[in-house]
Structure 1
Amino acid sequence: MTSETDGADVTALLVTAHPDDECMFFAPTVIRLVELKARVHVLCLSEGNYYNQGARRKQELLDSCAVLGIPASRVTITDHKNLPDDPKAEWSVSLVSSVIAKHIRALSVNMVLTFDGRGVSGHANHTAIYKAVRLLFALLGDCWPPEEIHLLLGASPQLAAALLSLLHCWLRGLQASQSRHALSSLSTPVVSLPVHQLIALHVH
Structure 2
Amino acid sequence: MGLAPLGSFLVVLLTLLWLGSRWLRRRGAGWGHRTLCTAGPARADDVRALVVTAHPDDEAMFFAPTILSLGRFRAQLWLLCCSSGNFYNQGEIRKKELVQSCSVLGIPSSNVTVIDHRDLPDDPAVEWDTHLLSTFVLEHVETNCINLLITFDAGGVSGHANHIALYMALRYLQSEGKLPEGCQVLTLKSVNLLRKYISILDVPISCLQSQDVLFILTKEESEQAKRAMRCHHSQLLWFRHTYILFSRFMVINSLCCL
* TM-score, length of structure 1 as denominator length: 0.80
* Alignment match, 1:198: 228
Measured in 1, the distance between the counterparts of 2:206 and 2:64 equals: 13
Shift of 1:7: 2.1
**Which has the larger Rg?**
2
Asked if 1:83 is matched to 2:113, the reply is: no
Correspondence for 1:60 among 89, 97, 108 = 97
Measured in 2, the distance between the counterparts of 1:23 and 1:102 equals: 24
Shift of 1:189: 1.7
SS at match of 2:50: strand
1:144–1:132: structure 2 CA closer, same or farther, 3 Å change rule? closer
1:145–1:127: structure 2 CA closer, same or farther, 3 Å change rule? closer
Query: Which residue identity does 2:217 align to in structure 1?
Result: V
Asked if 1:39 is matched to 2:69, the reply is: no
In the alignment, is the contact (CA less than 8 A) between 2:104 and 2:227 conserved in 1? Answer: no
Q: Identity over the aligned pairs, expressed in percent?
A: 42
Measured in 2, the distance between the counterparts of 1:80 and 1:19 equals: 14
Measured in 1, the distance between the counterparts of 2:120 and 2:154 equals: 19
Query: Which residue identity does 1:190 align to in structure 2?
Result: I
* Alignment match, 2:63: 26
> Which structure dedicates a bigger proportion of its chain to helix?
2
* Alignment match, 1:178: none
Query: Which residue identity does 1:82 align to in structure 2?
Result: D
Is there any run of 5+ residues in structure 1 with no aligned partner, and where?
168-187
Shift of 1:199: 1.8
Query: Which residue identity does 2:228 align to in structure 1?
Result: L
Asked if 1:154 is matched to 2:185, the reply is: no
* Alignment match, 2:248: none
Shift of 1:166: 4.1
Two-structure CA RMSD over aligned residues (Å):
2.4
SS at match of 2:140: helix
5 Å matches for 1:109-120? 109-120=146-157
Query: Which residue identity does 2:184 align to in structure 1?
Result: H
SS at match of 2:122: coil
In the alignment, is the contact (CA less than 8 A) between 2:148 and 2:185 conserved in 1? Answer: yes
* Alignment match, 1:179: none
* Alignment match, 1:105: 142
Is there any run of 5+ residues in structure 2 with no aligned partner, and where?
1-29, 34-42, 197-201, 236-258
SS at match of 1:89: coil
Measured in 1, the distance between the counterparts of 2:110 and 2:66 equals: 20
Shift of 1:200: 1.7
Deviates most, 68-77 or 154-163: 154-163
1:162–1:25: structure 2 CA closer, same or farther, 3 Å change rule? farther
Measured in 1, the distance between the counterparts of 2:60 and 2:170 equals: 20
1:161–1:41: structure 2 CA closer, same or farther, 3 Å change rule? farther
Measured in 1, the distance between the counterparts of 2:113 and 2:97 equals: 13
